Amino acid sequence: MARHYFGTDGIRGRVGEHPINAEFMLKLGWATGRVLGNGARTRVVIGKDTRLSGYMFESALEAGLSAAGVDIRLLGPMPTPAIAYLTRTLHACAGIVISASHNPHHDNGIKFFSAEGTKLPDEIEEAIEAEMNKPMTTVSSEKLGRAERIEDARGRYIEFCKSTIPSRITLRGMKIVIDCANGATYYVAPNVLIELGAEIISIGVSPNGLNINADCGSTRPERLREEVLKHDADVGIALDGDGDRLIMVDHKGEVVDGDELLFIIAAAQHAAGKLTGPVVGTLMSNLGMEQALQKLGIDFMRAQVGDRYVLEMLQANNGVLGGESSGHIICLNRTTTGDGMVTALQVLATMEQNKARLHELKKGMRKYPQLMINVPIAQRIDVDASETIQAAVRAAEKRLAGKGRVLLRPSGTEPLIRVMVEGEDAALVREEATKLAAVVERAALALSETA
């Protein structure tokens, strides 16, 4: 069945534009209740980030679920991974997240978790879409769903986060700057660190409904870097608006991305004998990480870009650790989905156990220079079928002489071809990426002129 609304990570778009409007959310709540409730009394949990539009969509989803006879447990502003966790512990049949992750406030979206705290299977999403095509009905008055707010949701999640590192580990004596992107982690993340004994400086913890991800958080770590240097902090932590991504900054002010963090955690778990299966990255993961893992005897696999595909490959190969350069890291031996705060704690615990700074830990991996150029296209182009483009790719690979990679891939959301080149020599990487992008641009233009 072709899907009209669900993408690889739920439903997302601009607020007020179909399908991100109140009318659609009402029907979506009803359809979800019909499919997941299956005529039985059950419950769904709803959480959200700090976007102003989240209140509107929360109310609409609540009304739709109630009309379908499903009880609702409202969590309020909570990180996406917290909703996955609480879906399981509250024995709900599903969790709904109202968030557009790292996007600006004018976007919003819906993500679902299963009763096990994992992404919904494709067949369930397809069944929900099919139900959306039916006229909306309401169960009899005595069968309407009841809504209840879970007052201690924050405390439950804070305790869970702390439980993911050994109880003997404390963060006493560690000065940490944390940037919560004015998003869903603004309360829980600082309090996790405080309860573990850290001295913290918090930024991005004053959400007003419109400033989520605005010049802050994991996509904009510049201010975090400034604050780390200003306060002579040991480390900086940057989360994104819904709390599933993490970027860190070391005491020298150097940004440590998802590939470097994934390497640090993998190396620590491997040394402790607790790493099973391969580490899974994506097509965009840095070659330096792959080589560093191989030196440690750790298998590495690449999935398609997207945490959904990382998770699928981990599960298929009995792996427990994977992630993306963006900082979306999955620790399946700790939780069921990507969790920025849980990931940060694994890194902080490694620093504490090894009595080492983040700057030292990342030295185990040499990060290759990498450049990606987005080439706009007027119409879809098959880069694999174009001999002109493939000849240019072969020429670039020959110049890299086995010490780099070339990757061309179409964007899944925009009319672009992403041209990525990485290698040991930064100047050569830039030169080859620029040349290859120009070839792709000319080929795309020629195709549009003959269409």
* Residue-wise pLDDT tens digits, 104-149: 999 999 999 999 999 888 899 999 999 999 999 999 999 999 999 9
Distance (Å) of CA 22 to CA 96, 104, 219, 245: 15, 19, 29, 28
- What CATH fold (topology level) applies to the domain 370-450? TATA-Binding Protein (3.30.310)
How much is the pLDDT for 1?
55
Distance CA 226, CA 363 (A): 22
- What CATH fold (topology level) applies to the domain 157-364? Alpha-D-Glucose-1,6-Bisphosphate; Chain A, domain 3 (3.40.120)
CB contact at 8 A, 107 and 14 = yes
Distance CA 83, CA 153 (A): 9
Give every CB contact of residue 114 below 8 A, 6+ residues apart in sequence.
Answer: 87, 94, 120, 121, 124
For 182-228, write each residue's pLDDT tens digit: 999 999 999 999 999 999 999 999 999 999 999 999 999 999 999 99
Q: Which secondary-structure segment (H or E) carries 20?
A: none
For the beta carbon of residue 334, count every other beta carbon within 10 angstroms: 19
Distance CA 316, CA 129 (A): 27
Pull the structure tokens for residue 349: 């615990």
Strand segments, DSSP code E, in 294-364 are 300-303, 321-323, 329-331
How much is the pLDDT for 413?
65
How much is the pLDDT for 451?
58
How much is the pLDDT for 426?
95
Site of tokens 């980030």: 49
Q: Which of 323, 311, 44, 81 is nearest to 183 (CA)?
A: 81
CB contact at 8 A, 317 and 301 = yes
pTM above 0.85, yes or no: yes
Q: Which residues are tagged catalytic?
A: 101
CB contact at 8 A, 33 and 67 = yes
Site of tokens 């390497």: 263
Site of tokens 């919904």: 120
For residue 107, report the phi and psi dihedrals to the nearest 5 degrees. Answer: -105, 155
Amino acid symbol at 303? A
SS3 254: coil
Q: Which secondary-structure segment (H or E) carries 353?
A: helix 340-354
Distance CA 48, CA 217 (A): 17
End-to-end CA distance of the chain, in Å?
30
CATH of domain 11-151: 3.40.120.10
DSSP symbol at 186: T
CATH 3.40.120.10, the chain: domain bounds: 11-151, 157-364
CATH 3.30.310.50, the chain: domain bounds: 370-450
Bridge partners for 176 per DSSP: 200, 235
The low-confidence residues of the chain, meaning pLDDT below 50, are none
